[in-house]
């Protein structure tokens, strides 16, 4: 499973939002391609859907998204509102994030030891 930089940031932030409630998941924290606010939400929902399909996050679509208007052919959704607090990390996502945190701390430890 290959995640791009944005998807990796999102999965870590969803993990943090679940583990530390003072660190909420917010769409404004991401450098998305779209400028238009509606398209930006559709783009963000697209990435969330990909992470869900990979089994890394979980949410009930009716609770997490409000839909309306025209469907984006680019992002394949008509999301108009995202309820970030309804999006949660799944066990597979937890393992991925924690393994990443461990391997990054191991790399840093080895760099300081040998650097």
Contact 81, 66 (CB under 8 A): yes
Q: What is the pLDDT of residues 10-64, one digit of tens each?
A: 999 999 999 998 899 999 999 999 999 999 999 999 999 999 999 999 999 999 9
- Structural domains of the chain, with CATH: 5-114 (1.10.10)
Pairing of strands 77-82, 57-58: unpaired
pTM: 0.86
Q: What is the pLDDT of residues 61-93, one digit of tens each?
A: 999 999 999 999 999 999 999 999 999 999 999
Cα 9 to Cα 47: distance, rounded to the nearest angstrom = 11
- Note the pLDDT of residue 76: 96
């Amino acid at each position: 499973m290959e995640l791009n930089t944005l998807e990796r940031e999102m999965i870590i932030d969803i993990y943090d939002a679940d583990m530390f409630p003072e660190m909420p998941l917010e769409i404004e924290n991401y450098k998305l391609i779209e400028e238009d606010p509606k398209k930006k939400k559709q783009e963000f929902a697209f990435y969330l859907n990909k992470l869900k399909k990979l089994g890394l996050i979980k949410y009930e679509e009716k609770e997490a998204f409000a839909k309306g208007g025209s469907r984006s052919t680019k992002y394949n959704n008509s999301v108009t509102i995202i309820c970030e607090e309804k999006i949660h990390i799944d066990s597979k996502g937890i393992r991925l994030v924690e393994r990443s945190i461990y391997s990054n701390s191991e790399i840093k430890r080895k760099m300081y030891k040998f650097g």
